[in-house]
Amino acid sequence: MNSEQRHTFFSQLKANNPSPETELEYSSPFELLVAVLLSAQATDVSVNKGTRSLFKIARTPSEFLKLGEEGIRPYIQHIGLYRTKGKHLQEACRILVNKHHSTVPRTREELEALPGVGRKTANVILNTAFGEPTIAVDTHIFRVSNRTGLAPGKDVNEVERQLLKRVPTEFLQDAHHWLILHGRYTCKARTPDCAQCIVEPLCGYRHKTSKGKIRGNI
């Protein structure tokens, strides 16, 4: 995909969804941090199911610490790896209270120093909470980037590097959300909905399959 095609690609996504947003429910950077930490290997639907009730009784690091792991558990036990995530939440809250005056830090280094927070989670916080032009490569973005030819890479770090170089600057702020939503609802893993895809004419996957090659799951 050349630069002109990439510009058209994101222009189409923007026209279809001018103001994309995360599907995680939150009302503060801290709530977003909690939701993203819980979302690892889990769906946004399952996370929202728990946080809707949890955030009614605890909305700050101090309130989470008062609840403790046992107090949080009933709200997150339907989410995968909930015991580990509950422990990480408590440890992260303790650091936020003791080192950051109960506020979520705005630097990558400080975010990644929090238990359970890796590069992808930090990128989500920086982009969604603080407006930084970062891209958190999850399974959807990895698939879309490779399948379409937008930013091929063997691992998430390589795809992230390619995206930061290839996404036109004017689209970089919202690219993260457009690509996730496109992968979640259109460019799905097993059965991509190519017939309904607004960027299908630009897609490398389309050209491969039109030549009679077998469709593989990417």
Name the domain count of the chain.
Answer: 2
DSSP for residue 79: S
Model pTM greater than 0.85? yes
Same domain, 112 and 180: no
- 138: annotated active-site residue: yes
**Rg from Cα positions in the chain:** 19
Residue span of the structural domain in which 86 resides: 29-129
**Active-site hit among 49, 85, 87, 138:** 138
CB 35 within 8 A of CB 199: no
Whether residues 36 and 125 share a domain: the answer is yes
Pair 49, 15 in one domain = no
For residues 74 and 124, membership in a common domain is answered with yes
Count Cα atoms within 13 angstroms, Cβ side, for 47. Answer: 22
- How far is 218 from 143, CA to CA, in rounded Å? 6
CATH number of the domain enclosing 114 = 1.10.340.30
pLDDT, the chain, mean: 93
Tens place of pLDDT per residue across the chain (218 aa): 899 999 999 999 999 999 999 999 999 999 999 999 999 999 999 999 999 999 999 999 999 999 999 999 999 999 999 999 999 999 999 999 999 999 999 999 999 999 999 999 999 999 999 999 999 999 999 999 999 999 999 999 999 999 999 999 999 999 999 999 999 999 999 999 999 999 999 998 865 655 544 344 44
Single out the residue in 103, 129, 155 at which a domain terminates.
Answer: 129
**Residues 171 and 87 occupy one common structural domain:** no
Residue 86 lies in a domain: yes
| Domain contains 157 | yes
Task: Give yes or no: residues 8 and 62 share one domain.
Answer: no
pLDDT at 210: 52
Do 180 and 204 lie in a common domain? yes
Looking at 14, 56, 87, 120, which residue is catalytic? 120
- Is 181 inside a domain boundary? yes
Pair (147, 164) in one structural domain: yes
Does 145 fall in a domain?
Answer: yes
Structure tokens, 47:
């996370």
Half-sphere exposure of residue 109: CA atoms within 13 angstroms, side-chain side: 0
Nearest to 37 by CA among 55, 21, 23, 24: 24
